[in-house]
């Protein structure tokens, strides 16, 4: 696996790891499970340069690099989930601007994203448009002085803490009745508000948003009218495999917990780590995680090299890694026995945190559809 990474990549991963163990662990111990992004967290991540590989050099970043995003998410997710989600959302909310934004839009928003001064989000999902994103009901109507957006968005991560959102809305016309466009909507825009904060099984800032004739200036349209769906899918092509990376990081922490618990726990006169049944579990966990890691890095390297099959590789990586990490964490809980389900233990927390990764940015079932459709494409 290490042969896929250059010495610079390995150094970067180590830098992320020492930052996470030094800074994030203390933020985690201070704030614990949260449903908003602590100011200290965003500031710390910005100062540490965690958002730099999301943004081109001209706007303060180091250039968009899927592999480096994966390496950071892998490390962060294993230590503090809200930090990982924040990195992901900074990417999801800025990459549509990187892909489709004007010079003015990029200069206005991207340097703030790098610094952590601007928290952003990506608002695609709606009550009646989950897996079927083409079924959006939010509509943008062109007015003399802008676009009026009306509709609802659901399950929007970091939606409570974010300063702006990239919002996808229908812009139907006679030529293109299914047209979807993307808009930057800033917090404080009249008619745009958090409708409801959602309480998930694990730490997460997540909300429903309401748009009620929210008037957005014309210059906040991203790209051309009708290019929103392409911008959304292009963004998922970058960020989807990074969900797999986060899953690998969570699974790795669970494996390490199991590896340190099993030799200490004595039953039937021997450490359970000496029981073949437990050894088989540990072997399966490590092997599956390694396979997942390989798929994730491979997809990221394809993305960084503009490979034509990146959509296929990203879906395979996301599908396999999130499912494998979930199985690994479940086995880590099993190895801990009753101790594994005590609230507040690391494996108990990971067991809750891993679950949404099989759902967001396309469920496992949707990844299978993407993979199978790609295979059958002529």
Contact window for ligand FAD (CB under 6 A) among 19-27, 199-207, 269-277, 290-298: 199-207
CB 123 within 8 A of CB 209: yes
Out of 68, 106, 170, 204, the residue judged to bind ligand FAD by CB under 6 A: 204
Out of 105, 125, 138, 253, the residue judged to bind ligand FAD by CB under 6 A: 125
Residue 99 CA to residue 173 CA, distance in Å, equals 24
Residue 137 interacts with ligand FAD (CB under 6 A): yes or no = no
Out of 24, 37, 206, 329, the residue judged to bind ligand FAD by CB under 6 A: 206
- Tokens representing 12? 């970067």
Among left, alpha and beta (phi > 0; psi -120 to 50; other), residue 60 is left
CB 328 within 8 A of CB 289: yes
Q: What DSSP line would sit under 222-289, residue for residue?
A: ESSTT-HHHHHHHHHHHHHHHHHHHHHHHHHHHHHHHHHHTTT-EETTEEGGGSHHHHHHHHHHHHHH
Q: Which residues of 153-185 are buried (b: 16+ CB within 10 A; e: fewer)?
A: bbbbbbbbbbbbbbbbbbbeeeeeeebbbbbbb
Told to judge if 103 belongs to the known catalytic residues of this protein, a careful annotator would answer no
- Per-residue x/- mask for ligand FAD, residues 77 to 116, rule CB under 6 A? ----------------------------------------
Q: Which is nearer to ligand FAD, 206 or 282 (CB)?
A: 206
Closest approach, Cβ 198 to ligand FAD, in A, equals 9
Out of 27, 123, 248, 296, the residue judged to bind ligand FAD by CB under 6 A: 123
Residue 225 interacts with ligand FAD (CB under 6 A): yes or no = no
Determine which one of 257, 288, 348, 361 is catalytic. 361
Closest approach, Cβ 172 to ligand FAD, in A, equals 20
Closest approach, Cβ 256 to ligand FAD, in A, equals 24
Q: What DSSP line would sit under 47-102, residue for residue?
A: HTTTTGGGS-GGGTSS---HHHHHHHHHHHHHH-HHHHHHHHHHHHHHHHHHHH--
Residue 185 interacts with ligand FAD (CB under 6 A): yes or no = no
How many beta carbons lie within 10 A of that of residue 223, not counting itself?
Answer: 18
- Per-residue x/- mask for ligand FAD, residues 322 to 361, rule CB under 6 A? ----------------------------------x--xxx
CB 272 within 8 A of CB 262: yes
Q: Which is nearer to ligand FAD, 130 or 234 (CB)?
A: 130
Q: The dihedral of CA 57, 60, 61, 64: what is its sign? A: negative
- Tokens representing 245? 């990376």
Q: Which is nearer to ligand FAD, 19 or 51 (CB)?
A: 51
Closest approach, Cβ 161 to ligand FAD, in A, equals 12
Closest residue to bound ligand FAD by CB: 130
Out of 40, 219, 309, 365, the residue judged to bind ligand FAD by CB under 6 A: 365
Closest approach, Cβ 362 to ligand FAD, in A, equals 6
Give every CB contact of residue 103 below 8 A, 6+ residues apart in sequence. none
# binding residues, ligand FAD (CB under 6 A): 22
- Per-residue x/- mask for ligand FAD, residues 142 to 161, rule CB under 6 A? -------------xxx----
Closest approach, Cβ 366 to ligand FAD, in A, equals 6
Residue 370 interacts with ligand FAD (CB under 6 A): yes or no = no
Residue 122 CA to residue 133 CA, distance in Å, equals 13
Look-up of token digits 């966990």: 285
Q: Which is nearer to ligand FAD, 105 or 121 (CB)?
A: 121
Strand (E) or helix (H) holding 122: strand 120-123
Residue 356 CA to residue 230 CA, distance in Å, equals 25
Which residues are part of the catalytic machinery? 361
Binding site for ligand FAD (CB under 6 A): 121-125, 130-131, 155-157, 200, 204, 206, 356, 359-363, 365-366, 369
């Amino acid at each position: 696996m290490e042969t896929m990474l250059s010495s610079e990549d390995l150094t970067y991963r180590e830098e992320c790891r020492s930052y996470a163990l030094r800074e994030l662990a203390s933020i985690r111990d201070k704030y614990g499970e949260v449903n908003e992004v602590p100011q200290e967290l965003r500031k710390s991540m910005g100062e540490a340069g965690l958002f730099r590989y999301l943004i081109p050099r001209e706007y303060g970043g180091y250039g968009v690099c899927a592999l480096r995003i994966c390496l950071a998410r892998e490390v962060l997710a294993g230590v503090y989930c809200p930090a990982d989600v924040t990195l992901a959302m900074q990417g999801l909310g800025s990459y549509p601007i990187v892909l489709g934004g004007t010079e003015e839009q990029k200069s206005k928003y991207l340097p703030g994203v790098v610094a952590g001064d601007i928290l952003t989000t990506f608002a695609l999902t709606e009550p009646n448009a989950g897996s079927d994103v083409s079924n959006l009901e939010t509509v943008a109507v062109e007015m003399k002085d802008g676009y009026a957006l009306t509709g609802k968005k659901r399950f929007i991560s970091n939606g409570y803490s974010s300063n702006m959102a990239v919002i996808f809305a229908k812009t139907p016309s006679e030529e293109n009745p299914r047209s979807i466009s993307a808009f930057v909507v800033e917090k404080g825009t009249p008619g745009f508000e958090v409708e409801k904060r959602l309480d998930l099984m694990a730490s997460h800032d997540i909300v429903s948003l309401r748009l009620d004739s929210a008037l957005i200036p014309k210059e906040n349209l991203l790209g051309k009218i009708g290019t929103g769906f392409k911008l959304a899918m292009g963004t998922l092509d970058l960020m989807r495999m990074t969900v797999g990376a986060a899953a690998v990081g969570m699974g790795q922490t669970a494996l390490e917990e199991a590896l340190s618990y099993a030799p200490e726990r004595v039953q039937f006169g021997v450490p359970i780590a000496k029981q073949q049944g437990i050894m088989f579990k540990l072997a399966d966990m490590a092997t599956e995680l390694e396979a997942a890691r390989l798929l994730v890095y491979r997809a990221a390297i394809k993305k960084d090299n503009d490979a034509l099959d990146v959509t296929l590789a990203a879906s395979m990586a996301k599908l396999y890694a999130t499912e494998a990490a979930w199985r690994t964490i479940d086995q880590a809980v099993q190895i801990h026995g009753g101790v594994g389900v005590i609230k507040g233990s690391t494996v108990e927390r990971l067991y809750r945190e891993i679950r949404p990764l099989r759902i967001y940015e396309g469920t496992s079932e949707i990844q299978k559809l993407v993979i199978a459709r790609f295979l059958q494409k002529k």
